[in-house]
Structure 1
Amino acid sequence: MASNAQSKTLLVAAFDFGTTYSGYAFSFRFDPNTIQTNRIWYASGRASTFLSLKTPTSVLLNPKGEFDKFGFEAEDKYAALAEDDEHHGWRLFRRFKMVLHSNEHLTKDVTVEDFCGTQMTAFPLFVMSIKYLKEHLLKEVSRQIDRFKETEILYVLTVPAIWDDNAKRFMRDAAIAAGVDSKRLKLALEPECTSIWCETLGKDVKGSVAIKGSQFMVVDLGGGTADISVHQRKPDGTLKEIHKASGGPWGGIYVDENYMKMLNGLFGEEALIDLRKYKTSDYFDVTREFELKKRSFDTDKTKHIIIRISASLWDFAEKYSAKSLHERTASLNMRENSITTRGKDKLKIDAAVVRPWFERPIDLLIQHLKSLLAEPKMKKVRTVILVGGFGESPYVQKKMRNEIPAVRLIVPGDAGLAVVKGAVRFGNNATIVPYRIMKYTYGTRMFDIFDGKKHPNEKQVWLDEKWLVDNCFNVFVRVNEEVGMGQQVTRESTPALKISKTQVYRTTQDNPKYTTDAGCELLGTVQLESSTDIPLQQQVIETTFMFGNTELLVKIKNTTTEKEAYMTFECFK
């Protein structure tokens, strides 16, 4: 299916749907190594100098609940409406991707808050976002080539490697709902895309990742999460995963939260609420300017940062309190003159105030990296490649170099685009990552013949004139096991009922005995109807797990009737 789609491909397009920023890249099949991105996204208003190769993951809905704008355009239009008090009924959503991280009970009904705190179902927002990126891409491609067909595009959608199967399925379903043909859609793991992209860089980087047998770690540090994987270069040039993906919520948005807490302390929560509500353009200017300062903050070179603060924020603060800036700073237990004014519209903030904003997420990241590198099978890993928007921070880079001196840290140029560019290369050659390490033990629920030597008496049940044991975990693959792309494990069984219900479970345990054990999770149920014309005991059900790709696929087939059914996640019913 994928090979047929690929043979008709004119170009490969990849979407990087990020927590804070999103973008796309593409290359034509006749020139796959020339990868293009959108030339520039820009913000209007006072912060018009804010230029980016990605645009904010922000969606604006009109009062009818219909899609209106995306990215900088969404934020700027909402701000303009608010300035004229015409924003009532309009809804702005920002940074909603994090709802998919570590959500153990993810469903399509999961909700997120808009700019004013009102809840809405998240799934349509993901659909609208992907649809916008797709349409923006098509316009860009149409400028370069005449009479191309959308059916000639192979799409790649990047996802964090640390996400579970439900979150990946959520994104796939959103892309399909956005008009992407499922047969022309691949999901790509973000750290793998980085590894693939680094092969194209200069000798300094390429020499660390392209030499046969080299082992290296990739840290994708974005706005929301750190996504970490470890790879080895095989003799044939392909990549082999040597440690299951890991990571955590240690991205740049946590620095932003600390910055906003300081502003809350200085100006008061009421003043910040009024700024968001009545002077939204000023609010975005404050946050966008800090984004630039955050990216360039360097402990050694930066003695202080200067942030432009709108007069409206001062006015709102004075409305609720007559305290001076000196008094407000003292109430935050900061040393004298650590925060001062520069003119009437700027704050000068000492680097000693800013540094702790970075420390907690980065300290947690470094602690995790140290524990990984201390594992016996990681002893040959001496290179760490750091990418992602937050990975561009000089502070982050210096902290990692100081805290983990035994490894060589490489930060490629345009680190924020490494994932999406690598995703294009992955779309051109998905077989470049033929092996992966399983994050879970997968299997099905089954009956076993009761054996008093290995089964507790309370587990036995009388069924079909024999003693059986229910809820046994039938393991198909184990956690930390290496699997190849397209690797399949098939087991046969006899249907007991007209409608066969195969329950698929997962756990982090290496050797689970029962699906009722602590930590075992029902991932989904596959249903298949058997024939009523043939005795059930004469029919054969094949259960096949297909591993090694970005997504897990489970197929149930009745070999007697040739009927098939595929995995349907329970939370998407």
Structure 2
Amino acid sequence: MATWWEQTNYTGTSSINKDAPRLLVVAFDFGTTYSGYAFSFRDDPLRIQSNQGWIAGSDQLISLKTPTCVLLNQRQEFDSFGFEAENKFADLAEDNKHHGWLLFRRFKMILHNNENLSRSTTVEDINGKSMPALTVFTMAIRYLKDHFLEALNKQKTGIEDKDIQYVITVPALWNDKAKQFMREAAEKAGIAKTQLKLSFEPEAASIWCQTISTDIKESLTRSGKQYMVIDLGGGTADISVHEKQIDDTLKELHKASGGPWGGTIVDDNFIEWVTKIIGKSTMQRFKDEQMEDYFQLLREFEIKKRNIKTDSTGNITFRLPASLKYLYRKDNRDTLKDRIVAMGLSDVVKYNGDKLRVDASVIKQWFEPPIYNVIQHVQQILSKPNMQKVETIILVGGFGECKYAQDILKKAMHDRKIFIPEEPGLVVLKGAVRFGHFQEIVRSRIMTHTYGIGVVGEYDEQEYQNAGEVSFHRDRNFVDIVVFDIIIRAGDETSIGKVITKGPYVPSALHTTHFVIYTTETFDPKFVTDQGCKQIGMLTVSHANGRCQDDNPLMASFIFGDTELYVKAVNIRTKEEFSTYIDCL
């Protein structure tokens, strides 16, 4: 049960110190579809190394990342990750030995906008079998960490684990629950809390673009220049706006935003389209019985997807696996050619041998939902009065490599310069490494939510009538109402490490106080029960030596601007301190 306090009106601000830089920084880009890592040493931070050895099992698909896939054996123990996991599961399925094995793919999206996320949240494998999501995330991060350490040891650098700064990239639009979930998974994977930082993906891209020497450098690196970063990933589109400061730091101008508009939507549209032709039962058998061919079909589409352009015309050829044709013939009386004619697709789809030739106009339709959602959202941001000086848009991310997405965005944003860095799918990863070395490079961020704590406010009849179902205590003619005591508001700019201190608070119990933290997107909430207000966590403070509650007044400090919210409480009488990252799970 929540506990509330009376409050006096002292507030103040200060700042916190940064940790000393470590000898090496490694960043893990944990993506919806692909993951990878990169690292560099303190004495040469821009010489960033990444793993070049991900084996796709296909000569056609060249990737500097590996699929975000986790394979568990029949005892629910970790077996493999990435391409290796996909290939091994496909081999097992080919021999009908995959029963009891679990393959988890694209599970990162379970963290997106999930208000019910908790440590007990589960995630399903490709056959619908559940496992605790925290376990699966932990296995994935542990694999990336161990793979990196093995690669590092081959260099014989003498670097010990305590010398390493770990960075994990996360979407800037994630809520506090998702960020904490990722942090806890990393800690369970063996990364010490003091060695771990979370880096916002579009922010990391912005940081790396400051190092690029190109003709457009003037639009990015000169003091006062404002620009937008669009990180088009597999699962989400993550958007932020920055201004370069005179001291070479970055200032955020608009709160991070975006949505579930990533490249996996295009993949899903492709599979849904093929399924309409061959039928649901045949597609399900194809996935179940010919897993290797199914993965190969997806990998081939990944190659085609990257090269579709707005001026692409004629037919795009896809090779249908022989196993798929065989299953279709077993399940259906008509031929594929007959099915295509019956569906009225003969003008845009041709089938001959093992080749399915699809008109480019059909394929482009698969791209439209996510891309046009991004365009609409970006235009809304740029239409705001304080965004008129934003001249340049940087496009990065795996889906940002897609030529069609690039072309459509350039056409829609013709009044802005669209800059696409070399290897846009690795820009976030490289920027996260640089962030690990120079964490002070981000000067300020815009708050996406209003934060506060619940306190007992004095009775005001008018406010009480407007409060709805509020928590209160009535004693004859005296009423206490639980109000939303605002610490910082949505839209406020806050410097990194800014500390806001409020109090003193009088505990409501003799021995223990629970600082209950609330958040909302509303700018000026009045009560903790206002629509949209959510309890996100608490800090518990012990004060056992007082004779009464007034003996232990408490000051509360909230540290904002970092990728996570940190809270500290101090007992004024005993000087005892309590602090934690807010437990949102």
TM-score strictly above 0.5: yes
> What code does the residue aligned with 2:34 have?
Y
Q: How large is the RMSD of aligned CA atoms in angstroms? A: 2.0
Q: Distance in 1 between matches of 2:170 and 2:242?
A: 17
Number of residues of Structure 1 aligned to a counterpart in Structure 2: 567
* Match runs of 1:454-473 below 5 Å: 454-456=463-465, 467-473=478-484
The answer (yes or no) to whether the contact 1:205–1:412 under 8 Å persists in 2 is no
Matching residue of 1:338 = 348
Q: Distance in 2 between matches of 1:298 and 1:15?
A: 31
The answer (yes or no) to whether the contact 2:255–2:448 under 8 Å persists in 1 is yes
Decide which of 40, 46, 50 is 1:37's aligned counterpart.
Answer: 50
Change (3 A) 1:516 1:4: closer
Measured against aligned partners, the alpha-carbon deviations of 1:471-496 in whole angstroms (never above 9, x if no partner) come to: 10100101100001111111121112
The answer (yes or no) to whether the contact 1:541–1:556 under 8 Å persists in 2 is yes
Please report how far the alpha carbon of residue 568 of structure 1 lies from its aligned counterpart in structure 2 after TM superposition. Answer: 6.2
> What code does the residue aligned with 1:441 have?
T
Q: Distance in 2 between matches of 1:121 and 1:332?
A: 42
Matched, 1:408 2:420: no
The answer (yes or no) to whether the contact 1:450–1:460 under 8 Å persists in 2 is no
Structure 2, unmatched stretches of 5+, are 1-15
Please report how far the alpha carbon of residue 460 of structure 1 lies from its aligned counterpart in structure 2 after TM superposition. Answer: 9.5
TM-score by length of structure 2 reads 0.93
Please report how far the alpha carbon of residue 48 of structure 1 lies from its aligned counterpart in structure 2 after TM superposition. Answer: 3.4
Please report how far the alpha carbon of residue 461 of structure 1 lies from its aligned counterpart in structure 2 after TM superposition. Answer: 5.2
Q: Distance in 1 between matches of 2:32 and 2:410?
A: 26
- In structure 2, the residue corresponding to 1:51 is in which secondary structure? coil
Matching residue of 1:552 = 565
Change (3 A) 1:243 1:266: same
* Match runs of 1:393-432 below 5 Å: 393-432=402-441
Measured against aligned partners, the alpha-carbon deviations of 1:173-210 in whole angstroms (never above 9, x if no partner) come to: 00000000110100010011000000111232322110
> What code does the residue aligned with 2:224 have?
G
Decide which of 21, 31, 46 is 2:34's aligned counterpart.
Answer: 21
Matching residue of 1:495 = 507
Matching residue of 2:554 = 541
Please report how far the alpha carbon of residue 403 of structure 1 lies from its aligned counterpart in structure 2 after TM superposition. Answer: 1.3
Q: Distance in 1 between matches of 2:393 and 2:439?
A: 23
Decide which of 228, 249, 260 is 2:239's aligned counterpart.
Answer: 228
Matching residue of 2:264 = 253
Please report how far the alpha carbon of residue 470 of structure 1 lies from its aligned counterpart in structure 2 after TM superposition. Answer: 2.0
Matching residue of 1:81 = 92
Matching residue of 1:307 = 318
Change (3 A) 1:89 1:371: same
Q: Distance in 2 between matches of 1:460 and 1:103?
A: 26
Q: Distance in 2 between matches of 1:323 and 1:137?
A: 52
Q: Which moved more, 1:520-529 or 1:478-487?
A: 520-529
Identity level (%)? 44
* Match runs of 1:5-20 below 5 Å: 6-7=20-21, 9-20=22-33
> What code does the residue aligned with 2:102 have?
R
Q: Distance in 2 between matches of 1:369 and 1:460?
A: 40
TM-score by length of structure 1 reads 0.95
Q: Which moved more, 1:519-528 or 1:479-488?
A: 519-528
Matched, 1:151 2:162: yes
Please report how far the alpha carbon of residue 464 of structure 1 lies from its aligned counterpart in structure 2 after TM superposition. Answer: 8.2
Matching residue of 1:378 = 387
Question: Which one has more relative contact order, counting CA pairs under 8 Å at least 6 apart?
Answer: 2
Q: Which moved more, 1:269-278 or 1:415-424?
A: 269-278
Matching residue of 1:391 = 400
The answer (yes or no) to whether the contact 1:460–1:467 under 8 Å persists in 2 is no
Matching residue of 1:508 = 521
- In structure 2, the residue corresponding to 1:204 is in which secondary structure? coil
* Match runs of 1:521-536 below 5 Å: 521-536=534-549
Measured against aligned partners, the alpha-carbon deviations of 1:420-449 in whole angstroms (never above 9, x if no partner) come to: 100000000011101000001100000112
Measured against aligned partners, the alpha-carbon deviations of 1:316-350 in whole angstroms (never above 9, x if no partner) come to: 1111112222332244443x2422124x2221111
The answer (yes or no) to whether the contact 1:42–1:50 under 8 Å persists in 2 is no
Structure 1, unmatched stretches of 5+, are none
The answer (yes or no) to whether the contact 2:507–2:550 under 8 Å persists in 1 is yes
Matched, 1:443 2:429: no
Q: Distance in 1 between matches of 2:120 and 2:322?
A: 41
Matching residue of 1:190 = 201
- In structure 1, the residue corresponding to 2:390 is in which secondary structure? coil
